[in-house]
Amino acid sequence: MFFQVGNEKILIDFNNGITVRVGGPDLTYFVECVEYKGVDHQPVTLESFHVNSNCDWPYEEFKVPIEFYMDFEIKVYKFDPLYGLKLIFNHRYNDYDQLVRFILETDNHDEAKFWFSKIKDYKRKNYCKIQVFSKFEDIDAQSDTRYQTRDLTPYKTYRIGRFPKSSTDWKTVDPRKEGLIWFGYWKTIWSYQHPRLWKYLSSEEIVNDILGL
């Protein structure tokens, strides 16, 4: 998604984690991702750092690789020499009336059918438009045919399946939280695709974790 805010151009994408790019006259911008926790919806910082608009050092883009559902908000700041950081843009995740893509990665037809029923629960909860791709034509056909094409760019993509932990970044190997990925000194997850280790979870628990149900 593209946004123009004054002289700044902001590109955000939620289809492979969370990605933010900022272009503008300033050399650097500060990007923050906050997550809303609990019934009080108090925002807590998940990740934040500076990104450069004209080169790739130290960071060309802001990236949070988490793929499963979170209630989060993106904030972009610029630095004012008189007043410090100034918020110039914010976007809270909201897929109401947006196209959301669901990719079912299972060879089991009954499981894919059950996961599709959970996708319909997600649709009823969030009022989004759904696009489903699986290995089974009869399941895919239950999506609205107007949206059943890969040519459309979705607001968000969810992959539902059992994925190995494949990341090797510092958060993954940090010895202070062995076996877990640590964000913001408060949030721990098993992998960027699963908040919990899926090995001992039921099929329903897996899809509920990914879709936040």
Contact 90, 73 (CB under 8 A): yes
Q: Is 0.85 surpassed by the pTM of this model?
A: yes
Report d(CA 170, CA 181) in Å as an integer. Answer: 9
Provide mean pLDDT across the span 105-131.
96
The pLDDT value given to residue 145: 65
Contact 64, 182 (CB under 8 A): no
The pLDDT value given to residue 36: 93
Residues 6+ apart with CB under 8 A from 40: none
Residue found under tokens 């062995």: 178
Domains of the chain: 2-92 (2.60.40), 99-211 (no CATH)
Provide mean pLDDT across the span 160-188.
88
Residue found under tokens 């059943």: 148
Contact 31, 49 (CB under 8 A): yes
Residue range 47-68, pLDDT digits in tens: 999 888 765 555 689 999 999 9
The pLDDT value given to residue 58: 54
The pLDDT value given to residue 202: 97
Estimate to the nearest angstrom the gap between the alpha carbon of 104 and the chain centroid: 17
Q: How many CA atoms lie within 13 A of 192 on its CB side?
A: 15
User: Residue 102's closest CA among 167, 163, 166, 161?
Assistant: 161
Report d(CA 63, CA 13) in Å as an integer. Answer: 10
User: Sorting pLDDT into bands at 50, 70 and 90, what band is 42?
Assistant: confident
